[in-house]
Amino acid sequence: MIRSPWNRRIAAVASLGDESRRKLFDFVASAGCAVSRDDAAGALGLPRSTASFQLDRLVQDGLLAVEFRKLGGKGGPGSGRPAKLYLAAVREVAASVPDRNYDLAAELLVSAIEESAAGGGTARDALLRTARARGEAAARTAGGGPADPGAPAGGAAFAGFLAAEGYRPEDDGAGGLVLLNCPFHRIAEGHTEVVCAMNGAFLAGAAAGCGIDPDRVQALAIKDLRAQGTARPAQCCARIRPQEPGA
């Protein structure tokens, strides 16, 4: 599943800070079917104009979607205009500052446990396989393709994917990338070996999905960088090495 851009998720959460919009979203999301503004206004005791305005704001913020359909089984000439109906565009919405992706970590860890339990082998090996496959599939779904050899650090597709996943890639000045944000920061602090290995496998898979040599994903000793004063707080423990000359 491709996440919405971070700024869109922030805007969606902010939109639900309004009590009327939050109640309308809860009503539509729990309805189980598309509802009209009259249904929503009546259920919540809101003026029809207020309900209409706030429902359209929820559509604008990406929380609701719209469909048009004639109600009551009517059709053909003279049956009137289709009604504007609202339905949930997302099942849930979450955002954090800085951007984190603990849902992805949980999915990878649970999938690895299931694979290990079903087929034997170590949970760690299953985690690395799962993370790499997920990274490659996610990059391909997001539109990753052969990298542009002329683009910094191996192509815009890979850099764009990293940005969308919350890594905050930045040119390191030598043709590679440093990743200024760790999407798994809190759990990585307490479980560094496991989480950083998972992260490296995910990034290697994403590189392959974008047509980049996975070996360009290099694990770093983040504690050494911190000791040298060259690491920023919550920086990812990996970097993308420059493309080898002539590659």
Q: Which two tokens stand for residue 69?
A: 């359909």
Phi-psi region of 73 (alpha: psi -120 to 50; beta: other; left: phi over 0): left
Span 142-159, pLDDT tens digits: 874 444 444 443 468 899
Work out the average pLDDT over 36-47: 95
Q: Assign a CATH topology to domain 6-88.
A: Arc Repressor Mutant, subunit A (1.10.10)
Neighbour count for residue 20 (Cβ, 10 Å): 15
Residue 181: pLDDT above 80? yes
Query: Cβ distance 14 to 6 under 8 Å?
Result: no
Distance CA 168, CA 160 (A): 10
Q: What is the Cα–Cα distance from 183 to 98, expressed in whole angstroms?
A: 8
The pTM score is 0.78
Looking at per-residue pLDDT, the higher value among 17 and 147 belongs to 17
The reported pLDDT for the residue numbered 76 is 55
